């Protein structure tokens, strides 16, 4: 089963509609279940709910063979935690899918690290979906020392600015 999720803050009709079309065309043969959030588009080719409670959401991610989603840090982190293949399509500000294009930067970074597949447009989705069965995400290594170092640099910078 492929789990499709778009988060809960903004509609993401572009992704839901594209996945529905690809299921209808036969490119996606696996069963799909989706969490569609505030999206207005109603898929015809797979089951969906608007929202899931956290424990159910986590279960769908855990049980999925792959995840297709927006490029939010929450779903990326959850997919990496469960070692799931994730195909992300960033929301775009120009389409009023989000307030700024931070998801482009997030998607690009995690793609460069080999953690996720990214389709930057619905036209790229078919090729990326073909990779779902063979893509093996690079396992994310937790690095608490590096995080602590970055926090310390940030705090040092704030302290130095206050002295000026």
Percentage of residues in the chain having pLDDT higher than 70: 98
The number of distinct structural domains making up the chain is 1
Domain containing residue 91: CATH number: 3.40.50.2000
Helices 54-63 + 73-81 axis angle, to 10: 50
Sign of CA dihedral 97, 102, 108, 114: negative
Q: Which domain holds residue 133?
A: 2-163
Strand partners, 35: 5, 49
Four-residue CA torsion sign, 73, 75, 78, 79: negative
CB 5 within 8 A of CB 67: yes
Over range 97-114, report the average pLDDT. 94
Task: Assign 102 a pLDDT band (cuts: 50, 70, 90).
Answer: very high
Name residues whose C-beta falls within 8 Å of residue 152's C-beta, 6 or more positions apart in sequence.
Answer: none
Please tell me the pTM assigned to this model: 0.86
């Amino acid at each position: 089963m492929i789990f499709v999720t778009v988060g809960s803050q903004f509609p993401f009709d572009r992704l839901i509609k594209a996945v529905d079309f690809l299921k209808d065309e036969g490119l996606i043969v696996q069963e799909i279940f989706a969490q569609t959030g505030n999206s207005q588009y109603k898929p015809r080719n797979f089951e969906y709910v608007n929202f899931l409670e956290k424990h159910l959401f986590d279960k769908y991610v855990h049980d999925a063979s792959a995840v297709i989603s927006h490029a939010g840090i929450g779903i990326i982190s959850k997919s990496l935690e469960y070692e799931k293949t994730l195909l992300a399509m960033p929301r775009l500000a120009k389409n009023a899918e989000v307030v700024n294009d931070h998801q482009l930067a997030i998607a690009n970074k995690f793609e460069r690290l080999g953690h996720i597949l990214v389709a930057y447009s619905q036209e790229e989705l078919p090729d990326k979906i073909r990779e779902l069965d063979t893509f093996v995400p690079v396992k994310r290594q937790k690095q608490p020392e590096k995080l602590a170092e970055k926090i310390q640099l940030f705090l040092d910078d704030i302290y130095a600015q206050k002295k000026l």
